[in-house]
Chains A and B, each alone.
Chain A
């Protein structure tokens, strides 16, 4: 993979759709783009059938802008809403059976290392809360215990959205859904704690109403996974259909949920801090300069 895989052979340019030409000529490949430039460059994500106003769509859009090297990235997904958009991007996408995604990504990431040696090829899994915490739970946990070097992103809409509203392990206790009419009887699973216990080098929570933060955590997670170990991001990406959120209130809901149960949190091991600092010039983990000595108390 490289920028070359999207370029057209000479002479074919005029037959390509405008969107494709724009993507080759004004896309993010081979450049650094950031969320502050959104609206000014052609994104790798194209049109797709996810619902109007879906926060998961926005998150996927932001994630693809945040990938440090989109031309050297492969996404892995599974059944669920997210793959409807993730597959419509100029980034190779591997679709596992439902729940297989972290097993598929383990093999893929190892194979890429054998084939390309030290040249980083990033593998990023994006799957729903059902795919990650229920059906794919065993493969997810084992990939973390094995310290597989790729990023797992949970698109947590707290429901099985694609199949019409069953409760998942990530649904909150008491939530009433179309196919959980009596309300969920158990607590939301603490996947963040499990990720730490299983040895992930970086664990963060985000909501899409803070695009710069989404960008920052995804960059860190992908970079750390290149060498240090597994990384996990849990993103609140509401399902406006199953939770009946009016589409123009989706960001208001994200803000409320952020204040309620999705406050920003970031866990990073010392090894990962050192890696980001030494390899990628991150300054935020450097020791803070000692505070100036306090002046003599006034008498």
Chain B
């Protein structure tokens, strides 16, 4: 098993700065959803990780901790994530994306 980045919707949506989307070296790996967190009463959406594309570098963790000062991202063993976003389950819209979360190991 290997580590991937996991973003806490509750912590991210309180700030929702989108910085990590600009610093992940991999394309379309940290995405942003206007909808994520709305069900929990947050005004703005949240960033999330397409874990099948994540190379586990933890650069996003440094960016969220030190630049955004929000500590919303942790590295987690992929089989310890009950659900996550995968490229196949991401839908692009006009200005944002939505993701159906599934088990990253079973797919």
Within 8 A of B (CB), among A248-271: 248-252
In the complex, chain B residues 47-82 whose Cβ is within 8 Å of any chain A Cβ = 47, 53, 55-59, 61-63, 66-67
Q: Does B13 contact A (CB under 8 A)?
A: no
Q: Does A149 contact B (CB under 8 A)?
A: no
Interface residues of A (CB under 8 A from B): 18-19, 22, 25-26, 35-43, 45-47, 50, 52-55, 57-58, 61-62, 209, 211, 247-252
- Chain B's closest residue to A214 (CB) is B22
A interface footprint on B19-38 (CB within 8 Å = 1, 0 otherwise): 00111111110111000000
The complex places the Cα of A45 from the Cα of B29 at a distance, in Å, of: 11
Known pairs A38-B21, A38-B22, A39-B31; A53 contacts B55 (CB<8 A): yes
B58 pairs with A46, CB closer than 8 A: no
List B contacts of A25 (CB < 8 A).
92
Cα A248 to Cα B64 with chains together (Å):
11
A222 to chain B, nearest CB (A): 19
Total contacting residues, chain B, CB less than 8 A:
31
* A to B CB contacts below 8 Å, 22 in the list: A38-B18, A39-B31, A39-B32, A39-B47, A40-B96, A42-B28, A42-B92, A43-B27, A43-B28, A45-B27, A47-B53, A52-B25, A53-B55, A53-B59, A58-B24, A61-B25, A61-B26, A61-B27, A211-B22, A247-B58, A247-B59, A248-B61
Please give me the residue from chain B that is nearest to A52 by CB atom: B55
Chain B residues within 8 Å of A, Cβ to Cβ:
18, 21-28, 30-32, 47, 53, 55-59, 61-63, 66-67, 87-88, 92-93, 95-97
Given A47-B27, A248-B61, A250-B57, 13 new contacts (CB under 8 A): A18-B88, A38-B22, A39-B30, A42-B92, A54-B25, A55-B25, A58-B24, A61-B25, A61-B26, A62-B22, A247-B58, A251-B59, A251-B67
Shortest CB–CB separation between residue B35 and chain A, in angstroms?
12
DSSP majority for the B interface? mixed
Contact A57 B26 (CB under 8 A): yes
- Cα A211 to Cα B59 in complex, Å, equals 14
**Across the interface, do A39 and B97 meet the contact criterion of CB distance under 8 Å?**
yes
Q: For the complex formed, measure the closest distance between the CB of B82 and the CB atoms of chain A, giving whole angstroms.
A: 23
Give the shortest distance, in Å, between B66 (CB) and chain A (any CB): 7
